[in-house]
Chain A
Amino acid sequence: MIPTVRLQREPFDAAAETALLTRGRSDIGALVTFTGICRGDEAGEPIAALTLEHFPGMAEAEIERHVADAKERWPLTGVTVIHRHGRIEPGDGIVLVVTASSHREAAFAAAEFLMDFLKTRAPFWKQVERADGTSWIEAKKTDDAAADRWTRTAARREAAE
């Protein structure tokens, strides 16, 4: 299975990406698609757009590292991760994660795992654009906690072995 990892400025088409991943395959029993979408408000205030800055080279490397990690943890038969950068308006997709497996547990878990790590380890930064100026979104402690639980499961698994 060769995963698809792509960074792009352009919008993505989730339906086209899943069709591409599943075309001609009969080994996929479960497909999970997650799309992160730009909301029209941030902290209760309306926004005009989000601009995503990223660290080219490291962003791809970091996503590929976590995709490889996901492949080791679950029996995946397909993975697609697309992350956009640049200016994104409310209603438009920011990130797409597609995971495929024989059964749903692996597909659900791997999609969540990849999203938790994209939020906290992939070098992207969101800047909010409002009518009166711009500001950087602050990292959330809840996102760190979400990513940490996977490290804890790994530690537990190792302790049990």
Chain B
Amino acid sequence: MSVKVRYFAWVRERIGKPEEEILPPASVTTVGGLMDWLAGRGEEYAYAFENRNVIRAAIDRAHARPDTAIKDAREIAFFPPMTGG
């Protein structure tokens, strides 16, 4: 099932695009699994996800954890720790 992914701040800069539609294999079931799969897509992805522990994620605009299931997600976002306020 295809899903929209969005990237923000330096994750976006490293990957070189703000969003894309992806089609991960059925074996990818969690946010963390998706990061592993994305990291294998090329140098720019490997660079963006080199330190996976710091990358935050959101599913359908709500914070998600590495073990959150991505089943039924319409949109998954990856970004660095937030620095607003």
| Assembled-state Cα–Cα distance A99/B61 (Å) | 26
B84 touches A54 (CB 8 A): yes
B79 touches A123 (CB 8 A): yes
| Assembled-state Cα–Cα distance A139/B81 (Å) | 6
A120 touches B82 (CB 8 A): yes
Least Cβ–Cβ distance between A133 and chain B, in angstroms = 13
B82 touches A119 (CB 8 A): yes
Q: Is the interface of A mostly helix, strand, loop or mixed?
A: mixed
A30 interfacial contact with B, CB 8 Å? no
A61 interfacial contact with B, CB 8 Å? yes
B82 touches A53 (CB 8 A): no
In the complex, chain B residues whose CB is within 8 Å of the CB of A53? 8-9
In the complex, chain B residues whose CB is within 8 Å of the CB of A94? 85
B77 interfacial contact with A, CB 8 Å? yes
Choose among A57, A61, A123, A138 the residue that contacts B84 (Cβ–Cβ < 8 A): A123
Least Cβ–Cβ distance between A21 and chain B, in angstroms = 20
A71 interfacial contact with B, CB 8 Å? no
Least Cβ–Cβ distance between A119 and chain B, in angstroms = 4
Q: Which residues of B contact A (CB under 8 A)?
A: 6, 8-10, 58, 61-63, 77, 79-85
26 contacts between A and B (CB under 8 A): A52-B84, A55-B8, A55-B77, A58-B58, A58-B62, A58-B77, A59-B84, A61-B61, A83-B85, A115-B85, A119-B85, A120-B82, A121-B63, A123-B58, A123-B77, A123-B79, A124-B83, A125-B8, A125-B79, A125-B80, A125-B82, A125-B84, A126-B84, A136-B9, A138-B81, A138-B83
Q: Which residues of A contact B (CB under 8 A)?
A: 36, 52-55, 57-59, 61-62, 83, 94-95, 115, 118-127, 136-139
